[in-house]
Amino acid sequence: MTSNGNSDHNQEKKLKKYSLDKDLNRIAKLEGASATLAKRLFAPGLAIFFLALAGVLASIQIGAQPNAVFIIVAGMLGGYMALNIGANDVANNVGPAVGSKALTLTGALIIAAIFESAGALIAGGDVVSTISKGIIDPSLMPDSSTFVWAMMAALLSSALWVNLATYVGAPVSTTHSVVGGVMGAGIAAVGFNVVNWATMSKIAASWVVSPVLGGIIAALFLAFIKTNIIYQDDKIKAARRWVPVLIALMTSVFSGYLIMKGLKRIWTPDTFVIILISLGIFIVSYLALKPIIARQSRDMANRNQSLRALFHIPLICSAALLSFAHGANDVANAVGPLAAIIHSVQSGDIAAKVNIPLWVMVIGAVGISLGLFLYGPRLISMVGEQITALNPIRAFCVSLAAAITVIVASGLGLPVSSTHIAVGAIFGVGFFREYYTAHSKRRQRYVKEHKRYASPTVAQKPSGEETRKRKLVRRSHFLTIITAWVVTVPAAALLAAGIFFALSFVR
C-alpha cells in the first residue's frame, strides 16, 4: 500500500508539473504575441497621436472662428501628408549613402531628420503658391467654399496615394502626387478648362527627361571614374589626381543647388552670381582637398576597396545637404494646400499666393521627420540596397548626378521630381555596370593583365549565357517603380475627383 501510495503521489506531482509547464508556455506565448502586436501598433499609434496634436495645435491657433472645423481637419490632413513625405520621399536623399555603407541606417535617420526640419523651418519660404505648380486657374472656382473642398480632396488623395506607394515599396514623387490631386479636384469642381494644360505637358515631359538625364549623368561619372582611376595600374596615384577634382565639383554643385533651391527664403541671387560663387567654391575646395586626399591615401593599398574610403565623408555631407534642400522645397507639398485652405476659410477669398503661418510650417517639418523615423527605413533600404548594389563610388556618382540634374532641369524650366532624378541615377549606374561588364575592352584587358589579383571567374570574359544572367539591376523593382511613376498623376487625380464628389454629398 505504501509503495502504491508513493507511486500515485509521484504521478500526481508529475501531472501537476506538466500542467504548470503548459500554463507557463501559454503565458509566454501570449506575452510574445502581445509584444509583437504592440510593436506593430507603435508606429500607427504614434502617427495618430501626432495627427491629433496637429488638430489641437490648429484649434489653439485659430480659436473660436467661424468654420474652425475646416482648419482643424485641414491641419490633420497636412500632418498626414507630411508623414507620407517623410516615409517615402526622404529615402532618395540618404538611400545611396546607406546602401554604400557610408552611413548606418540610424545615422541616416538622424541626419535626415535634423536637416529636413532645418530646411523646412529656415528656408521653407514665407509665401507658398496655393496651387501646386500653377496647374489650375483659381479664378475659375465659383466660390471659396468650393475651393476649400477641392483643396481638402487634393490633400487627402495625394497623401493616400503616397501612403499606398510606400506600402508597396515604390518611391514616387510627392510633388506629382499633389499635382495629380489638385488637377483631379479642380476638374471635378469646375471642369477640364480649369487645368493649365501647357504646364501639365511640362510636368509630363519631366517624367521622362529628369530620370533619364539623371541616369545618363550618373553613368558618365561612373565611366570617368572607372576609366581614369579604377582600371589604372596605379589606382592611388590616379586617385590623388582626380578625387580632389570630383569632390570639389560636388562641393561647388551642391553649393549652387543649395543657393538655388534651398535658400530662396534667405537669398535669391541671379544665375550669373550663382555660377561665379560655385566656380569660386570649386577652386577653393580643390586647393584645400588636394593635400587632404594625398595624406589620406599615403599608406593605402593599390585596390578598389581603398579608394572607396575616400568617398565616405563626401557622401555623408551630400546626404545632409540634399535633406536640407528637400525640406526647404517639399514641405510646400504638405503645407501649400493647407495654407490655401486656412486663407480661404479666414478671408473668404481665393489667393494665388499666401503667407505660411509658423505653426503650419512646424506641422510640416515635424511630420516629415516623424514619418521618416516611423516608416522611412523600408524605402531607404529599397532605394539604397535593393535596386542595384551600391558602393561609395557609385553612390557618389548618384548624389552628384542628382544635384547637377536638378540645376540643369531648373534652368530649362522643367518642374522636376527629386525622386525621379535620384532613382533614375541609381538605375543609370546599374545599367551602365551591366553594359560595361559585358562590353568594355579596357576592363577585359585590365583583368587579363591582373589575373593574379582576380578570381578565376572574373579573370575570364563571361560567356554569352553568363552575361545574360548577370543582371545588376533588379527588373522587378524597375518595372514596379516605372509603373508607379506613370500612374501617380492620373491615380491621384481620379482619387481626388472621387473624394471631392463624395464630400459634395455631405456638405
At 9-39, the pLDDT tens digits run 555 555 555 555 555 566 655 555 554 544 5
Whether 121 is covered by a domain: the verdict is yes
Q: How far apart are CA 438 and CA 456, in angstroms?
A: 16
User: What is the chain's length?
Assistant: 507
Does 16 fall in a domain? no
- 3-state SS class at 23: helix
Q: Is residue 452 part of a domain?
A: no
CB atoms within 10 A of CB 237: 13
**Alpha carbon separation from 450 to 234, 298, 446, 447, 453 (Å, rounded):** 12, 23, 6, 5, 6
Query: Distance between CA 367 and CA 85 in Å, rounded?
Result: 8
According to the model, what pLDDT value does residue 467 have?
45
Q: Is residue 129 part of a domain?
A: yes
Range with top average pLDDT, 98-107, 214-223, 255-264, 336-345: 214-223
313 is in which domain, residue-wise? 53-439+471-504
Q: Which tens digits make up the pLDDT trace of 374-389?
A: 998 888 888 888 888 8
Query: Is 350 a domain residue?
Result: yes
Taking the C-alpha atoms of residue 497 and residue 500, their distance in angstroms, rounded to an integer, is 5
Bigger pLDDT: 64 or 347? Answer: 347
Cβ pair 151, 209 in contact under 8 A: no
Q: Residue 20: its pLDDT value, please?
A: 53
- Distance separating alpha carbons of residues 248 and 279, to the nearest angstrom: 10
Helices 475-504 and 197-225 pack at an angle, to 10 degrees, of 160
Number of domains in the chain: 1
Three-class HEC string of 179-198: HHHHHHHHHHHCCHHHECHH
Is residue 180 a part of any domain in this protein?
A: yes
Rounded to the nearest integer, the mean pLDDT of the chain is: 82
Nearest to 76 by CA among 53, 103, 96, 104: 53
Place of cell 532605394: 383
Q: pLDDT digits over 296-311, tens only?
A: 988 888 888 888 889 9
Contact 108, 396 (CB under 8 A): no
Whether residue 153 contacts residue 492, with contact meaning beta carbons closer than 8 Å, is answered with no
Question: Residues 134, 199: contact at Cβ < 8 Å?
Answer: yes
* pLDDT at residue 10 in the model: 57
**Residue 280 belongs to some domain of the structure:** yes
CB-based contact 159:80 (threshold 8 Å):
yes
Q: Which amino acid is at 451?
A: K
Percentage of the chain modeled with pLDDT above 90: 31
Rounded to whole angstroms, the Cα distance separating 409 from 414 reads 5
Residue 283 exposure: Cα atoms within 13 Å on the Cβ side: 5
Tell me: pLDDT of 157 over 90.
yes
pLDDT reported for residue 384: 86
In the DSSP assignment, the letter for residue 67 is T
Whether the per-residue pLDDT at 174 is higher than 80: the answer is yes
Q: Return d(Cα 231, Cα 211) in angstroms, integer.
A: 28
Which of 37, 50, 60 has the alpha carbon at shortest distance from 81? Answer: 50
Q: How far apart are CA 79 and CA 371, in angstroms?
A: 10
Helix (H) or strand (E) holding 353: strand 353-355
Q: What confidence score (pLDDT) does residue 454 get?
A: 47
Which neighbouring-strand residues pair with 355?
127
Q: Is residue 31 assigned to a domain? A: no
pLDDT by residue (tens digit) across 126-150?
A: 555 655 557 888 888 888 888 889 9
